[in-house]
Amino acid sequence: MSALTDTAPGRPLPRARGGVGQSVRDSLVVAQRNLIRMARIPEMIIFGLIQPIMFVVLFSYVFGGSISVGGNLSPDVYREFLMAGIFAQTVTFATAGAGAGIADDMHKGLIDRFRSLPMARGAVLTGRTLADLVQTALTLVVLAVVALIVGWRVHENIGKVLAGFGLLLLFGYAFSWIGALIGLSVRTPEAATSGGLIWLFPLTFISNAFVPSTNMPAVLRHIAEWNPFSATVQACRELFGNLPAGYPVPDAWPMQHPVLASVLWSLLIIAIFRTLSVRKYRSASA
């Protein structure tokens, strides 16, 4: 029987050899495979860019000047306030693509073939999420260029700006593990796409991404202030120097210490959903 065929029912799965080093190599091989696949299907990247660019243009020119930020109705002030939210929304919406990609591999039987090989159990998922991280980084670069064209500016040193983008990538990587679990839990890529998006809309809109949380009703305000998405947005605004003068910073701990809160939320999400995803991968029927 070929090494690529499915394992027989009841037969134990092959064990990976080589410990951590082998796991890293296996993950990089899978990541390379997914990056090559993305390069051969450029529509995946192009369509992934269209939505965030539309959000930048629409929110900047449609809502700019209509939403008060710190008592200021200037479109330029709102544009700078907005961009951290758009960046964070973009990295979280990549969750749907990650889930759909894994569900597609499951549907085609590719995951079963990987499971029949003596490779690290988590390498398939780690490689996939690393490839998604590279795609997210490319998307952020293009989005930042578009933002600069429409008038977004940073007012901090390059170190803080890079730290802000680093937080975004960490947050996006954490959410890709949520997508991995969704992709392993559904039967079709279409279901993974729907399941990956439906909960992201309340997550991103009940936050400080598009409007100050201080303008929300009390219950929604508390949810928004403890929303991990809000912590990342607030952290990026501080690191980019995009908090306007007079902007009221809420008293909630994540809003007072957004950089630390964003890192802690991201690491917690990775720890929980990576564990659940690998467990789900191991228990999937071969």
* pLDDT given at position 167: 96
Please report, to the nearest 10 degrees, the dihedral formed by the alpha carbons of residues 46, 187, 285, 122 taken in order.
30
Cα three-residue angle 64-65-70, rounded to 5 degrees = 100
- Tell me the pTM: 0.84
What pLDDT does 8 receive? 44
pLDDT of residue 11: 46
pLDDT recorded at residue 284: 65
Instruction: Give the closest residue to 67 by CA, choosing from 81, 53, 52.
Output: 81
Judge whether 261 and 254 are in contact, CB under 8 Å: yes
Instruction: Yes or no: say if 154 and 238 are a contact pair by the CB < 8 Å rule.
Output: no
pLDDT in the model for residue 41 = 75
Question: How many CB atoms within 10 Å of residue 61?
Answer: 13
- Residue 101's pLDDT is what? 81
- Report residue 143 as tokens: 């989005």
Contact criterion met (CB below 8 Å) for 194 and 116: no
What pLDDT does 283 receive? 78
Spatial separation of the C-alpha atoms in residues 87 and 142, rounded to whole Å = 11
d(CA 8, CA 16) in angstroms, rounded, equals: 18
pLDDT of 247: 82
Residue numbers of the chain with a pLDDT score lower than 50: 1-14, 16, 285-286
- Dihedral of the alpha carbons of 213, 218, 220, 223, in degrees to the nearest 10: 80
- What's the pLDDT at 19? 65
